């Protein structure tokens, strides 16, 4: 497909890079010529310098022949105007706009309908939702939700847990007899899609897939107790912090937000009257201690600087037993951070790119058996995807044991008329099913891609 990406920030660059890897014809537009040149030289995309909301620039970039326009500049108004002009110039193209302002979010359906925007995406809101899931599972390193929360993938560090280490997955299943699937193992730099003979090793990071209820029962049996979080300290009064605080307050969690910008603190205080908003510098450990960090159940570092977030999380780890969540955008740091105890890592640009890529894969799928959701896990080396089966194809109605599935691919669950099914060799997919699978094979666009 021919795709225009407007905005060369963190989200735009990551999205363009991921789309280029999947062999789409990508044109990147940004008003900063130097940035356009830098990015177009580093990844396989064409760059155009100029305002994305300019009709002239859109035409120059080929909007009249494009299939999709993704507007992810820092300005909501520019993104919405870009999508509006793109639709006027090419009524057949789809449009995605990043819309972040809470005031627009309140009327988002009206905004979409009036401006002809097919999809709006809010990186701060979806990041806040991801963090809230991590807070709901205090011992998890990563949590992703599928099929409206019916199924979740949960990653956690094994450490020296004697209940798992040295046992094969078949042995673990016989001991615990729970409806929980082990779907991924991160072992050093290796990403493994396991089978029944796979043996858990000390210091593995494992990912399980289950309903929330079954996951809770299983983790409790392992001695990985999910103690409820009652209070949370957030450093950095960003939009993510606002959305996160709103979600956590609905979970009856007490919130304290610390930020060095007085104006931002005053704004948050008016928006979040039940939260404690503190004006001060997080680098001042006295303030962190005075505001209760040693007794906090959860600590989330959300400043705009990765290095500051890492240092704050390391400090919080030394003086508290809190669940630690660290925001980072430079994924090149991941190798270093794996050796540091900074808790769960979240990257807004990767979370957003995953959402956009899943939409693009659905557009690319001529069979209409669409990718509904996609999340990366195992250090970004594997994907968990859900497909909606909307029509019969050559893999629908065929028992799995008769399908030659690709290597490193595991069918986890089928959701059929609300019922959750763990498939076996005799199970067939049916029209109307939602199928969850995990794989290290990137680029699956349709359910037909599961076979060689």
What pLDDT score was predicted for residue 422? Answer: 92
Q: H helices of 330-396, where?
A: 334-337, 348-364
> What average pLDDT score do residues 251-263 get?
96
What pLDDT score was predicted for residue 305? Answer: 93
Quick check: 61 pLDDT over 70? Answer: yes
Per-residue three-class SS string for 111-154: HHHHHCCCEEECHHHHHHHHHHHHHHCCCCCEEEEECCCCEEEE
What pLDDT score was predicted for residue 359? Answer: 87
- Sheet with 434-439: list strands edge to edge: 371-377, 382-388, 434-439, 409-416, 419-421
What pLDDT score was predicted for residue 338? Answer: 63
Q: pLDDT tens digits, residue range 357-398?
A: 888 887 765 545 578 888 888 888 999 999 999 889 899 999
* pLDDT band with cut points at 50, 70 and 90 for residue 226: confident
Percent of the chain whose predicted confidence (pLDDT) is above 70:
97
Q: What are the backbone dihedrals phi and psi of residue 96, each rounded to the nearest 5 degrees, phi first?
A: -125, 130
Sign of CA dihedral 75, 78, 84, 89: negative
Q: How far apart are CA 120 and CA 102, in angstroms?
A: 13
Distances (CA, A) of 438 to 16, 107, 153, 268, 397: 23, 35, 10, 40, 20
What pLDDT score was predicted for residue 88? Answer: 94
pTM confidence score: 0.85
What pLDDT score was predicted for residue 160? Answer: 81
What pLDDT score was predicted for residue 334? Answer: 55
Sign of CA dihedral 51, 54, 56, 60: positive
What pLDDT score was predicted for residue 32? Answer: 96
Percent of the chain whose predicted confidence (pLDDT) is above 90:
74
**Residue 323 bridge partners (DSSP):** 298
Most confident of 238-247, 385-394, 436-445: 238-247
As a whole number, the mean pLDDT across the chain is: 91
What pLDDT score was predicted for residue 364? Answer: 65
In a 3-state reduction of DSSP, which class is residue 442? coil
* pLDDT band with cut points at 50, 70 and 90 for residue 74: very high
What pLDDT score was predicted for residue 65? Answer: 95
Quick check: 177 pLDDT over 90? Answer: no
**Tokens 């960003």, residue?**
238
What pLDDT score was predicted for residue 197? Answer: 96
Higher pLDDT, 442 or 273: 273
Quick check: 149 pLDDT over 70? Answer: yes
Quick check: 50 pLDDT over 90? Answer: yes
- Is 119 buried (19+), middle (13-18) or exposed (0-12) by CB count in 10 A? middle
What pLDDT score was predicted for residue 368? Answer: 52
The angle at the Cα of 215, spanning 210 to 217, to the nearest 5 degrees, equals 140
Range name among 142-146, 174-178, 436-440 with the lowest pLDDT average:
174-178
């Amino acid at each position: 497909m021919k795709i225009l990406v407007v905005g060369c920030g963190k989200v735009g660059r990551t999205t363009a890079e991921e789309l280029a890897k999947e062999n789409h014809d990508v044109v990147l537009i940004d008003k900063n010529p130097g940035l356009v040149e830098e990015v177009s030289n580093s990844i396989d995309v064409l760059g155009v310098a100029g305002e994305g909301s300019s009709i002239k620039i859109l035409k120059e970039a080929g909007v009249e022949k494009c299939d999709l326009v993704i507007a992810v500049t820092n300005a909501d108004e520019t993104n919405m105007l870009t999508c509006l002009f793109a639709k006027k110039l090419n009524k057949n193209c789809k449009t995605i706009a990043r819309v972040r302002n809470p005031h627009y979010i309140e009327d988002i359906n009206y905004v979409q309908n009036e401006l002809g925007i097919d999809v709006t995406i809010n990186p701060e809101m979806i990041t806040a939702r991801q963090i809230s899931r991590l807070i709901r599972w205090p011992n998890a390193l990563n949590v992703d939700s599928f099929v409206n929360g019916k199924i979740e993938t949960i990653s956690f560090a094994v450490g020296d847990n004697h209940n798992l280490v040295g046992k094969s997955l078949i042995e673990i299943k016989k001991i615990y007899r729970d409806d929980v699937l082990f779907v991924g193992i991160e072992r050093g730099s290796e990403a493994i899609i396991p089978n029944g003979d796979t043996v858990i090793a000390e210091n593995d990071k494992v990912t399980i897939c289950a309903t929330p209820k079954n996951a809770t029962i299983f983790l409790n049996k392992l001695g990985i107790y999910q103690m409820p979080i009652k209070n949370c300290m957030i450093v950095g009064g960003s939009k993510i912090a606002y959305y996160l605080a709103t979600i956590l307050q609905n979970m009856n969690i007490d919130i304290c937000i610390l930020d060095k910008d007085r104006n931002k603190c005053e704004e948050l205080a008016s928006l979040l009257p039940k939260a404690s908003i503190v004006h001060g510098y997080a680098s001042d450990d006295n303030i962190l201690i005075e505001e209760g960090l040693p007794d906090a159940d959860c600590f989330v570092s959300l400043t705009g600087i990765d290095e500051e977030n890492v240092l704050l999380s390391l400090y919080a780890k030394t003086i508290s037993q809190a669940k630690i969540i660290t925001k980072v955008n430079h994924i090149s740091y991941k190798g270093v951070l794996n050796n540091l105890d900074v808790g769960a890592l979240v990257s807004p640009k990767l979370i957003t790119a995953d959402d956009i890529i899943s939409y693009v894969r659905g557009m690319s799928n001529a069979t209409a058996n669409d990718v509904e959701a996609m999340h990366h896990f195992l250090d970004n080396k594997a994907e968990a995807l859900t497909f909606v089966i909307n029509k019969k194809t050559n893999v629908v109605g065929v028992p799995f044991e008769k399908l030659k599935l690709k290597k490193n691919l595991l069918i986890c669950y089928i959701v059929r008329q609300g019922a959750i099914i763990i498939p076996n060799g005799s199970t067939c997919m049916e029209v109307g099913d939602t199928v969850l699978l995990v794989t290290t094979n990137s680029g699956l666009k349709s359910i037909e891609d599961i076979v060689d």
